[in-house]
Amino acid sequence: MPRFAQRMKTMEKSANIIRGLFGAMNDPELISFGGGAPAREALPVDIVREIAADVITTGKKGIQALQYGSVMGLPELREVVVDHLLAPKGIKAKAENILITSGGLEGVNLLCQVYIDPGDIILVESPTFVHCVEIFEMFEAKCIAVDMDDDGMNTEDLEAKIIKYKPKMVYVIPTFHNPTGRTLSLERRQKIAELGSKYDVIILEDDPYRDIRYSGSDLLPIKAFDETGHTVLANSFSKIFSPGSRLGYILADDEISAKLFNAKTATNSHTSMLPQVICAEFFKRGYYPAHHRMICDLYRQRRDTMIECIDKYFPEGTKRVFPDGGLFTWAELPGGINTTELLEEAVKNPDVKVAYVAGEGFFTEGGGKGINCMRLSFGSVTPEKIRVGMERLGGLIRSKLK
């Protein structure tokens, strides 16, 4: 057999972590706080059924949905992004600068195609989203971790590392961060945009959770502070509409948009038309506001239950994040507990049968960082199951401290 491409080797470690994430999900008896999928109740099945039937039986739309489309995406959906998602949040953008992608991840992938050569440095948060690390490694980039705290990425450490490593890109998840649920403060958002301009570094702002805010108030994205075009905003319809539709978008200034157009053409010509048409109709027919309220209420209740259970069942000395939105919280356990080892027992022990994601894999720097941490996803678990699962998991953790 011919040799595999070098990139297959570079991405092996993160690929294994991701495979591990999905491994336990198929056991129906397991209560899983592992995956990051939306709640099944948050998927607008009935609305999509109605729209899909209508679209397919309406001559012009039916043809449009099944025909080739334009590289940048369906014009109506790009208008939806500008008018329904960005403008109400104080973000000024033109539809020409929006590219519709196949899921949020494709935006990250395309921007890497445009900018990343083998050996380039990408600064990432510590911890960060493994799936994107896998993409960065596929492009043979080297990830360097930047400290973070409750207010998100530490901008002093960021500036020091920009000076030291001269990165091509900074990858940041500013709102309800994956895996921690933390949100980057407004001051730091502004600072990061300024650092991108000052040091000529691309800021990749990956913001798929920003629209699922159920407490606190909205913060402007980093992109809103960008005066030189160095910040690129990637977002997704996965958490507000449907992940299976594989829809996302990327907002970039003219020069970068032109290159993204070329990368998208060479990748898959354009994003699937049928989901684009359906999703655009979902917004244009006015379904989004009520749907959005419903999912926020649902996740707020799950967040409250999860936090209440951590406080009740986890040992004293546990630190946890109280997220104002999104699907995750992050717990740091006391007493030197190794969450990677604990996970095996939590999943296999018939009296526990609970999954979470061990913290270690989210830290690109390795060295045992995050070994006592866990990501707990409450999005797709009912409050009743959250209570049962957290009581069992808390009991297991406490038994280790005795």
Ligand X SMILES: Cc1ncc(COP(=O)(O)O)c(C=O)c1O
Which residues of the chain form contacts with ligand X (CB under 6 A)?
36, 103-105, 129, 173, 178, 206, 208, 236, 238, 243, 248
What residue has token string 């109280």?
322
Q: Give 225 or 249: the residue with its C-beta nearer to ligand X.
A: 249
Q: Considering the complex, what minimum distance in angstroms separates the CB of residue 373 from ligand X?
A: 17
171 within 8 A of 128, measured Cβ to Cβ: yes
What whole-number distance in Å separates Cα of residue 366 and Cα of residue 221?
29
Helix (H) or strand (E) holding 156: helix 155-165
Q: Considering the complex, what minimum distance in angstroms separates the CB of residue 234 from ligand X?
A: 7
Q: Considering the complex, what minimum distance in angstroms separates the CB of residue 2 from ligand X?
A: 30
What whole-number distance in Å separates Cα of residue 343 and Cα of residue 340?
5
What angle (nearest 5°) sits at the alpha carbon of residue 336, between those of residues 334 and 339?
A: 90
Q: Give 168 or 375: the residue with its C-beta nearer to ligand X.
A: 375
Q: Give 105 or 256: the residue with its C-beta nearer to ligand X.
A: 105
CA distance to 1, 5, 256, 265, per residue, from 186 (Å): 53, 42, 25, 36
What whole-number distance in Å separates Cα of residue 384 and Cα of residue 341?
27
What whole-number distance in Å separates Cα of residue 363 and Cα of residue 372?
12
Q: Considering the complex, what minimum distance in angstroms separates the CB of residue 362 from ligand X?
A: 11
What whole-number distance in Å separates Cα of residue 373 and Cα of residue 2?
41
Q: Give 131 or 400: the residue with its C-beta nearer to ligand X.
A: 131
What whole-number distance in Å separates Cα of residue 144 and Cα of residue 295?
35
354 within 8 A of 343, measured Cβ to Cβ: no
Q: Sheet holding 231-236: strands in order across? A: 98-101, 248-251, 231-236, 202-206, 169-172, 121-125, 142-146
Q: Considering the complex, what minimum distance in angstroms separates the CB of residue 261 from ligand X?
A: 20
Q: Give 248 or 359: the residue with its C-beta nearer to ligand X.
A: 248
Q: Considering the complex, what minimum distance in angstroms separates the CB of residue 243 from ligand X?
A: 5
What residue has token string 């913001």?
207
Q: Give 182 or 353: the residue with its C-beta nearer to ligand X.
A: 182
What whole-number distance in Å separates Cα of residue 110 and Cα of residue 261?
9
Q: Give 114 or 352: the residue with its C-beta nearer to ligand X.
A: 114
Q: Give 238 or 329: the residue with its C-beta nearer to ligand X.
A: 238
CA distance to 32, 260, 313, 381, per residue, from 397 (Å): 16, 47, 9, 20
Phi and psi angles of residue 334, each rounded to the nearest 5 degrees, phi first: -85, 175
Q: Considering the complex, what minimum distance in angstroms separates the CB of residue 256 from ligand X?
A: 19
Tell me the residue number closest to ligand X, measured at CB. 103
Q: Considering the complex, what minimum distance in angstroms separates the CB of residue 33 from ligand X?
A: 15
Instruction: Fill in the amino acid letter for 343.
Output: L
Q: Considering the complex, what minimum distance in angstroms separates the CB of residue 340 from ligand X?
A: 21
Q: Give 238 or 380: the residue with its C-beta nearer to ligand X.
A: 238
